[in-house]
């Protein structure tokens, strides 16, 4: 298919939107265009970014995962309770991540083996895991573990927050998998044409379980970072992260039907969400309006994604 200038503009329209947002908030919000503000934005989006990378893998296969926010939340309180009981920090983190992977595998099995729709399976997991978080904590925050754990969220390396460096490390590893490995081609293949992928000898079932396990792993990592940032295990932690992640992924041009999208643009989508949140906060826009704007952004992103795909087909046929 011939690549035209119009198709390139469509693919990278999100970068233009990012630049326009930067200019807009720099004009309307005092002290927005500063190094301090940008570092704050990067810190804020690091958790969403990690979750969005896992979500991108799931959506690329044609799936969806509404449970990631709950996995992050229950992982946060699980790690906090383990540390509070005297479990060494590193061991508590490893156990927490393994359990988070288990949650992802369970969702993958429900979808791949029992043929449950991804929306229903992960909605059920989202509700169940949030319930677990409240049950094991009696609905109360978990305190009393080592405060040194919180140093990670505050730490920097060469002036760059460690949280941001972790997000970039996850991004680079994920991009390498998608762009340079056979596994990445399988991910795109399952989303693009699952039946053709199956006929070529690749197990669609195993690939589906893998991406949900990976998503659980990254949501567990995000939960550990969240715990370090808040210095307490909150049973309500992670609420809403799933919608922010889905919005960022769709903003980044990943098709909800699967098989299309670039991880680098997902990162741009994450930055747009962070700039929107911080910019609106600095403009003293209340939380209710912020939620309205985020909802409209998601609807707009889906509409633009569908329009972009239609235009790609038309331009490609010319």
What is the per-residue pLDDT for 148? Answer: 83
Neighbouring C-alpha atoms within 13 Å toward the C-beta of 44? 18
In a domain, 314, yes or no: no
Does 63 fall in a domain? yes
Cβ(197)–Cβ(189) under 8 Å? Answer: yes
Residues contacting residue 276 through CB under 8 Å, at least 6 positions apart:
21, 290, 293, 294, 297
Q: Is residue 150 part of a domain?
A: yes
pLDDT of residue 3: 47
Task: Indicate whether 315 belongs to any domain.
Answer: no
User: What is the extent of the structural domain holding 74?
Assistant: 13-307
Residue 2 lies in a domain: no
Q: What is the largest CA-CA distance in the chain?
A: 66
Segments of the chain assigned E as strands = 156-157, 160-161
Structure tokens given for 145: 């573990």
Residue 7 lies in a domain: no
CA 27 to chain centre: 29
User: Which tokens belong to 25?
Assistant: 């908030």
Cβ(73)–Cβ(248) under 8 Å?
no
Question: What φ, ψ does residue 108 adopt, rounded to 5°?
Answer: -60, -40
- The alpha carbon dihedral of 255, 256, 262, 264 has a sign of positive
What is the predicted pLDDT for the residue at 1? 46
In the prediction, which pLDDT does 14 show? 86
Task: Let me know: does 138 contact 255? Beta carbons within 8 Å.
Answer: no
- Give the pLDDT score at 316: 56
Does 277 fall in a domain? Answer: yes
Q: CA–CA separation, 96 vs 144, rounded Å?
A: 18
Cα–chain-centroid distance for residue 150? 22
Identify the CATH number of the domain in which residue 240 sits. 1.10.3470
Count up the domains in the chain and report the number: 1
Task: For residue 1, tell me if it sits in a domain.
Answer: no
As a whole number of angstroms, the distance between CA 160 and CA 173 comes to 19
Distance CA 294, CA 274 (A): 11
Residue among 226, 186, 148 at smallest CA distance from 60: 186
d(CA 132, CA 142): 14
Chunked into runs of 10 residues, the chain (318 residues) has average pLDDT values of 52 85 93 92 96 98 98 97 93 98 98 97 98 96 83 90 97 97 96 94 97 98 96 93 96 90 93 95 92 92 77 58
CA atoms within 13 A of residue 72's CA, in its CB half-sphere: 33
């Amino acid at each position: 298919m011939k690549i035209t200038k119009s198709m390139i503009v469509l693919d990278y329209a999100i970068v233009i939107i990012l630049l326009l947002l930067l200019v807009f908030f720099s004009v309307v919000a005092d002290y927005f265009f500063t190094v301090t503000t940008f570092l704050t934005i990067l810190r804020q989006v690091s958790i969403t970014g990690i979750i969005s990378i896992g979500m991108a893998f799931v959506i690329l296969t044609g799936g969806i995962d509404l449970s990631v926010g709950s996995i992050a939340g229950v992982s946060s309180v699980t790690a906090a309770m383990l540390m509070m009981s005297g479990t060494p920090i590193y061991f508590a983190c490893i156990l927490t991540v393994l359990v988070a992977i288990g949650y992802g595998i369970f969702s993958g099995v429900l979808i791949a083996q029992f043929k449950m729709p991804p929306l229903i399976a992960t909605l059920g997991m989202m509700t169940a895991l949030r319930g677990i978080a409240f049950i094991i904590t009696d609905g109360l925050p978990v305190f009393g573990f080592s405060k040194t754990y919180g140093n990670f969220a505050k730490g920097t390396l060469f002036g760059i927050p460690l949280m941001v460096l972790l997000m970039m490390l996850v991004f680079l590893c994920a991009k390498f998998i998608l762009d340079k490995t056979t596994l990445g081609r399988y991910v795109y293949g399952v989303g693009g044409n699952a039946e053709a992928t199956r006929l070529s000898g690749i197990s669609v079932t195993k690939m589906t379980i893998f991406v949900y396990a990976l998503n659980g792993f990254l949501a567990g990592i995000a939960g550990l970072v969240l715990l370090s940032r808040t210095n307490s295990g909150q049973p309500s932690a992670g609420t809403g992260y799933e919608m922010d992640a889905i919005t960022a992924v769709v903003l980044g041009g990943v098709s909800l039907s699967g098989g299309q999208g670039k991880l680098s643009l997902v990162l741009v989508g994450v930055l747009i969400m962070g700039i929107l949140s911080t910019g609106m906060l600095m403009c003293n826009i209340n939380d209710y309006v912020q939620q309205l704007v985020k909802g409209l952004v998601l609807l707009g992103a889906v509409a633009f994604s569908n329009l972009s795909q239609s235009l790609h087909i038309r331009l490609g046929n010319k």
